[in-house]
Amino acid sequence: MCRIAGIVSKSFSDDKENQLLLMRDAMHRGGPDDAGIYIDKQFPIALAHRRLSIIDLSSAGHQPMLSNDQQIIISFNGEIYNYIELRNELKNLGHIFKTETDTEVIIAGYIQWGTAVFAKLNGMFAIAIFDKNTQELILARDHAGIKPLYISVQENEIYFASEIRAFKALHHKFEEQKDWQIYFLLFGSLPEPITTLKGVKPLEKGCFMTVNLNTLKPQFIRFNEFKYTSTIHTLSEAEKLVKETLNNAVKRHLIADAPIGLFLSGGIDSSLLTILSEPHLKEQLNTLSIVFDDEKFSEKKYQDIIIEQTGAKHQSFLVSEQHFNDSLPDILNAMDQPTTDGINSYFICKYAKEYGLTAVLSGLGADELFGGYHSFYNHQTVNFSKAIPSFALNLLNHLPKDKYKKLSFLAHKNIIGQYLFNRGFHGINETAKLLDTDTDEVVNCIANLENIYHTKNLSNFNNASYLETNIYMQNQLLKDTDCMSMWHAVEVRVPFLDKELMQLVYSIDSNIKFNAKQKKFLLVDTFKNILPKAIWDRPKQGFTFPFENWMKNIHPHTNNKMNNYAENQFKKGNYSWSRYWAYLLTQNLN
Q: Tens of pLDDT along 49-62? A: 998 776 666 677 79
For 509-523, 550-564, 565-579, which range has the lowest pLDDT when averaged over its residues? 550-564
Asked whether residue 310 falls in the same domain as residue 444, the answer is no
What pLDDT shows up at residue 590? 38
The answer to whether residue 560 is domain-embedded is: yes
Q: What is the DSSP string of 144-187?
A: T--S--EEEE-SSEEEEESSHHHHHTSTTT-PBPTTHHHHHHHH
**What is the CATH classification number for the domain harbouring 347?**
3.40.50.620
Residue 11 has a pLDDT of 81
Q: What is the CATH number of the domain that holds 195?
A: 3.60.20.10
So what's the pLDDT on residue 500?
98
Do 71 and 127 lie in one domain? The reply is yes
Q: Which residues pair with 40 in a beta bridge?
A: 45
> Does residue 228 form part of some domain?
no
Name which of 155, 253, 137 is nearest 203 in CA terms: 137
In this prediction, residue 438 has a pLDDT band, given cuts at 50, 70 and 90, of: very high
What is the C-alpha separation between 467 and 456, in angstroms, rounded? 12
Single-letter amino acid code for the residue at 281: L
Residues 507 and 534 in one domain: yes
Predicted pLDDT at 554: 83
pLDDT at 150 over 50: yes
| Residue 84 and residue 176 in one domain | yes
User: Looking at per-residue confidence, does 547 or 460 come out higher?
Assistant: 460
d(CA 107, CA 334): 32
In a domain, 229, yes or no: no
63: containing domain: 2-222
Q: What is the pLDDT of residue 174?
A: 93
Identify whether 191 is part of a domain: yes
d(C-alpha 519, C-alpha 217), whole Å: 47
Instruction: Band the pLDDT of 384: cuts 50, 70, 90.
Output: confident
Check whether 133 has a pLDDT greater than 90. yes
| Residue 434 shares a structural domain with residue 479 | no
Task: Name residues whose C-beta falls within 8 Å of residue 49's C-beta, 6 or more positions apart in sequence.
Answer: 2, 3, 4, 5, 24, 31, 34, 35, 36, 37, 63, 64, 75, 76
At 271-323, the pLDDT tens digits run 999 999 999 999 999 999 998 877 777 788 999 999 999 999 999 999 999 99
The reported pLDDT for the residue numbered 589 is 43
Cα(449)–Cα(235) distance, rounded to whole angstroms? 36
- The verdict on residue 148 lying in a domain is yes
Q: What is the pLDDT of residues 11-29, one digit of tens each?
A: 877 788 999 999 999 999 9
Q: What is the C-alpha to C-alpha distance for residues 443 and 431, in angstroms, rounded to an integer? A: 10
Q: Do 539 and 551 share a domain, yes or no? A: no
Distance of CA 496 to the CA centre of its chain: 13
**Domain shared by 11 and 120, yes or no:** yes
Q: Residue 1 above 70 pLDDT?
A: no
Count how many domains the chain has: 4
**pLDDT score at 356:** 94
pLDDT > 90 fraction of the chain, expressed in percent and rounded: 75
Length of the chain (residues): 590
- For the ranges 186-195, 267-276, 301-310, 386-395, the lowest mean pLDDT is seen at 386-395
Peptide bond into 32 cis (omega under 30): no
pLDDT tens digit string along 217-265? 999 999 999 999 999 999 999 999 999 999 999 999 999 888 999 999 9
The reply to whether 418 and 538 lie within a common domain is: no
Residue 103 has pLDDT above 70, yes or no: yes
- The predicted pLDDT at position 588 comes to 66
Model pLDDT, residue 388: 82
Hey, how many other C-beta atoms are within 10 angstroms of the C-beta on 73?
Answer: 21
Find the mean pLDDT for residues 343-360: 95
Do the domain assignments include residue 43? yes
Q: What is the C-alpha to C-alpha distance for residues 264 and 159, in angstroms, rounded to an integer?
A: 38
Cα angle 457-459-463, degrees, rounded to a multiple of 5: 85
In a domain, 29, yes or no: yes
252 with 387, same domain? no
CA nearest to 165, candidates 196, 204, 198: 196
CA angle, residues 11, 210, 112, in degrees to nearest 5: 120
pLDDT in tens, 452-480: 998 878 999 999 999 999 999 999 999 99
Q: Are residues 171 and 36 in the same domain?
A: yes
**Each residue's pLDDT tens digit, 202-227:** 999 999 999 999 999 999 999 999 99
Q: Has residue 94 got a pLDDT over 90?
A: yes
Domain boundary among the residues 428, 456, 484 is at 456
Q: Does residue 366 have a pLDDT over 70?
A: yes
Q: State residue 403's pLDDT score.
A: 67
Distance from C-alpha of 412 to C-alpha of 394, rounded to nearest angstrom: 9
Q: Which residues contact 361 (CB under 8 A, 6 or more apart)?
A: 250, 253, 254, 260, 261, 262, 263, 273, 277, 492, 493, 494, 495
For residue 16, the 8-state DSSP code is H
Per-residue confidence band for 573, with pLDDT thresholds at 50, 70 and 90: confident
Q: Which residues contact 349 (CB under 8 A, 6 or more apart)?
A: 360, 484, 485, 487, 488, 490, 492
Q: Are 388 and 482 in a shared domain? A: no
Mean pLDDT for the chain? Answer: 92
* Boundary of a domain, candidates 412, 436, 456: 456
- Return phi, psi of residue 196, to 5°: -80, -5
Question: Same structural domain for residues 541 and 552?
Answer: no
Triad 40, 175, 31: Cα angle to 5°: 50
Closest of 258, 314, 261 to residue 290, by C-alpha: 314
In a domain, 450, yes or no: yes
